[in-house]
DNA sequence: ATCTGTTTAGCCGCAG
DNA sequence: CTGCGGCTAAACAGAT
């Protein structure tokens, strides 16, 4: 049986689903988001199997991007011309895979209809829009930015629930030692923030740089990360973003989601999620998971709440 | 024209 | 058996 991380798949079909492959591609990018074409490229680069029958699997992949709520579409900024939008991972899809394994999802990442609600009026969007062009995309995050979001912290992909156990196909294991000390995971929201020109704190941005085993070398530019190897692939639970200090709101509102196991709107800030006021329901944008790029752009922002059905 | 994105549909395998 | 996750095909619309 081929083992991930050893480049042993050669021409065999990798044991990853399209969702996994796409997630890998996105995670591997520095900005934690990629245009469709780059996702294709990534997969073909790393997995020879996908250098053939491109029409077939690319169609499937596109289907997955649209169909699965774990992928969010981020419009290109005016200064980033090109075809299509960027695709990123939903902030809370980190625990979508069992024990961090990308071989199989534990649950479908599904948004409730009522939760496909826009955050048009959310402070976050205002913030995004306000910040939109104030910071250049790709601006290296410096320590100076850390203070911006002091409450961001890391998390484990299992939500810290599993303690020490690491699934054989967990990212850590897949990546092997390369992961140690630098596995940073990718926090989509951080990407979005970064993308939109939002200053991302070092700690956070460091998580936005992750590596995959057989996906090859990643950005050299990311440099060494002072991040513990204990961090799981996705590095940061969105949950912790809003209540890291057991407190209420972060400086920047972020998408929230009730703890799936609880399956209800969090009422205790320190327990399950963020302030519900972040994203007031807006019927006008139901079912749209696009992160708006323009103030009057269509669609919603990052979903406030999610449901693992 | 081609690419991108959405949607519908059907099939298969697996787990409960 | 049923539901879910995954894969594939295909039709279609919109953007580039």
Q: Gap from A15 CA to C9 C1', in Å?
A: 22
Angle at A10 between CA A42 and CA A188, to 5 degrees: 30
Tokens of A162: 């599993």
**Measured on CA atoms in the order A159, A228, A31, A149, is the torsion positive or negative?**
positive
Which of the 38-57 residues on chain A come under 7 Å of nucleic strand B at their beta carbon? Answer: 40
Q: How far apart are CA A309 and CA A83, in angstroms?
A: 33
Which of A16, A170, A29, A157 is CA-nearest to residue A87?
A29
Q: How far apart are CA A175 and CA A82, in angstroms?
A: 32
* Assessment of whether the complete model's pTM goes beyond 0.85: no
Strand partners for A105: A97
* Residue A275 falls in which region: left (phi positive, over 0), alpha (psi -120 to 50) or beta: beta
Residue bearing tokens 């913030």? A127
Which of the 156-215 residues on chain A come under 7 Å of nucleic strand B at their beta carbon? Answer: none
pLDDT tens for each residue of chain A, 309 residues long? 444 444 445 677 888 889 989 988 998 898 888 999 999 999 999 998 999 889 999 999 999 999 988 899 998 877 777 888 999 988 777 666 654 556 656 566 666 655 554 433 333 333 343 343 333 333 333 333 333 332 333 333 333 333 334 444 444 443 333 333 333 334 445 555 555 554 444 433 443 344 344 544 433 333 333 333 333 333 333 333 333 333 333 333 333 333 333 333 333 333 333 333 333 333 334 445 565 554 433 333 333 333 343
Which of the 58-87 residues on chain A come under 7 Å of nucleic strand B at their beta carbon? Answer: 59, 62-63, 65-67, 73, 83-85, 87
User: With a 7 Å cutoff on the CB, does A70 touch strand C?
Assistant: no
In this prediction, residue A10 carries a pLDDT of 66
In this prediction, residue A77 carries a pLDDT of 77
Neighbours of A77 (CB within 10 A): 16
Which of the 24-63 residues on chain A come under 7 Å of nucleic strand C at their beta carbon? Answer: 56-57, 59-60, 62-63
Strands of the sheet containing A33-35, edge to edge, are A33-35, A86-89, A71-74
Q: Gap from A119 CA to C15 C1', in Å?
A: 25
Return the SS3 of A88.
Answer: strand
Q: How far apart are CA A192 and CA A74, in angstroms?
A: 8
Q: Gap from A226 CA to B7 C1', in Å?
A: 44
In this prediction, residue A62 carries a pLDDT of 94
Return the SS3 of A177.
Answer: helix
Return the SS3 of A136.
Answer: coil
């Amino acid at each position: 049986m081929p083992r991930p991380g050893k480049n042993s798949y050669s021409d065999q079909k990798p044991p990853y689903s399209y969702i996994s492959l796409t997630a890998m591609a996105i995670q591997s990018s520095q900005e934690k988001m990629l245009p469709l074409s780059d996702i294709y490229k990534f997969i073909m680069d790393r997995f020879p199997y996908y250098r053939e029958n491109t029409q077939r699997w690319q169609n499937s992949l596109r289907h997955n991007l649209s169909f699965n709520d774990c992928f969010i579409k981020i419009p290109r900024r005016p200064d980033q011309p090109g075809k299509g939008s960027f695709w990123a991972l939903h902030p809370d899809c980190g625990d979508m895979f069992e024990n961090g394994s990308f071989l199989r999802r534990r649950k479908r990442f599904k948004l409730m209809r009522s939760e496909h609600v826009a955050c048009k009026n959310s402070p976050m969007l205002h913030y995004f829009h306000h910040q939109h062009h104030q910071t250049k995309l790709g601006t290296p995050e410096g320590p100076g930015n850390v203070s911006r979001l002091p409450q961001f912290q890391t998390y484990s992909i299992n939500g810290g629930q599993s303690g020490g156990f690491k699934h054989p196909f967990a990212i850590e294991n897949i990546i092997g030692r390369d992961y140690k000390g630098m596995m940073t995971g990718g926090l989509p929201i951080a990407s979005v923030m970064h993308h939109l020109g939002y200053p991302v704190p070092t700690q956070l941005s460091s998580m936005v740089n992750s590596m995959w085993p057989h996906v090859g070398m990643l950005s050299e530019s990311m440099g060494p990360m002072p991040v513990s190897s204990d961090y799981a692939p996705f590095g940061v639970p969105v949950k912790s973003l809003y209540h890291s200090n057991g407190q209420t709101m972060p400086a920047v509102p972020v998408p929230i989601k009730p703890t799936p196991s609880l399956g209800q709107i969090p009422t205790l800030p320190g327990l399950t999620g963020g302030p519900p006021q972040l994203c007031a329901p807006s019927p006008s944008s139901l079912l749209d998971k696009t992160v708006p790029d323009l103030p009057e752009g269509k669609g919603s922002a990052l979903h406030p709440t999610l449901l693992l059905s």
